Each structure stands twice: as C-alpha cells, then as structure tokens.
Amino acid sequence: MAWTHEEMAARAAAELHDGDYVNLGIGLPTKVVDHVPEGMQVWLQSENGLIGIGPPPYEDEINPDLIDAAKQTITMVPGASICSSSMSFAMIRGGHMDQSILGAMQVSEGGDLANWMIPGKLVKGMGGAMDLVGGARRVVVLMEHNTRAGEMKILRRCSLPLTGANVVNRIITDIAVIDVTEQGLVVKELAPDVSREDLQERTEPTLSFVGL
C-alpha cells in the first residue's frame, strides 16, 4: 500500500535536524511544514526572500503580502525575517542551506535531477531549482514513484533537460525511500505491503536492498 501525500511529507520531515536551514520546493514539498517535529526549530526558507516559514494560515490569518515562491499565502514563525530576493539567493548560492527538499520529474541512478521542463511545453522557467541543487548541502527529492500513466521516473539516465547533475542524495516516493550512492541506488525503506519485486518492477535501474 502506497504512502499518502501527508505520509510522504511526514517522512520527509523526518530528514530535518534541529537548527537546519531548509528550502522547500513547490508542490508536495510544501506539505513538509505541517510535519516538523514538535519542539524542533527548523528555519524554512523561500527563495523570494523569507526565512522562517510557518504553517499555512487560517482564514483570519491570511496576509496577501506574505507568500512563498509558489505564491501560496504563509505564516511566519517567531524570529523569522524578510529579505530581498538577491540576498535570499546569495544565501543559497553561498552554501548556507543545509537541505533542499524538492519535487522531480525524473531522477537518474547517478543522482541527476530533471524537474523544470518538458520539451515542447510552455514553461515559466526553472525558478531557483538550479541554484538550490547546486548550493544546498543535501538534496532530497519528494515525488510520486511513477507518473499517472505508469511511466518510470527513476531511470538509468534522465531523458528530460537536467536541473543538476549528480546532486540528489535521497529519494522519497509513495512506495520507498532510496539513497543515491557511489555503488548505485540503495533502498532504505519500503511502504507497507510493497515488495522488493514490486519496487524493482517500477524502477528502471537495478536496486540494492542491502540491510533491508
């Protein structure tokens, strides 16, 4: 049985450490803010210039001037700060983000990431993704294991334009947690009732199950 989006976000939140500075990508990764462990102080950053993102606002808390990079309204935790976009990207490019948790269209067995465009389709641009995967100390991908059409997203080689080469450290999907290592892809966890055979059938590269 696959993990729900909330369960995936909770599993991604388990990657956080007290005091971390973390950027959450657009889409599913934004749900991670709802699952930060109680008592843990994590500084969630948005590349449009905010450090200290809190949970989504209740209706009476909505401030249209407080938005994240996906233009969703947000709240701020005590101690949060607002800065210019240029300062925000200086933090990212300067290597000050402990982690980046973001979505993906494809990930290769070598940790290559494609998450910003499909050739032939209109796109607004890659946003801050290229800077984030190049500047963050650790990159975690949070995505569905396969497309809605059942196509594989974890591949030997990405067929879509790359956001970054050899940048992904861990992949969290709806059916597994997989690490990218020099020896290949190593499965760390399986969703309930998902067998090794099921996972391998839905993944192009050969997987290792050492210690699982």
Catalytic residues: 47
Whose structure tokens read 């192009």? 204
Q: What's the token pair of residue 172?
A: 């969290």
116's CB contacts (< 8 A; 6+ apart) are: 123, 125, 126, 127, 129, 130, 161, 163
SS3 169: coil
User: Which residue is associated with the tokens 């606002």?
Assistant: 57
Q: Which of 103, 76, 97 is nearest to 5 (CA)?
A: 103
> What distance in Å separates the CA atoms of residue 178 and residue 169, rounded to the nearest whole number?
9
Asked if 107 contacts 166 with a C-beta cutoff of 8 angstroms, the reply is no
Query: Would you say 140 and 15 are in contact if contact means Cβ atoms under 8 Å apart?
Result: yes
CA–CA dist 108, 54 (Å, integer) = 32
Q: Are 50 and 80 in contact (CB under 8 A)?
A: yes
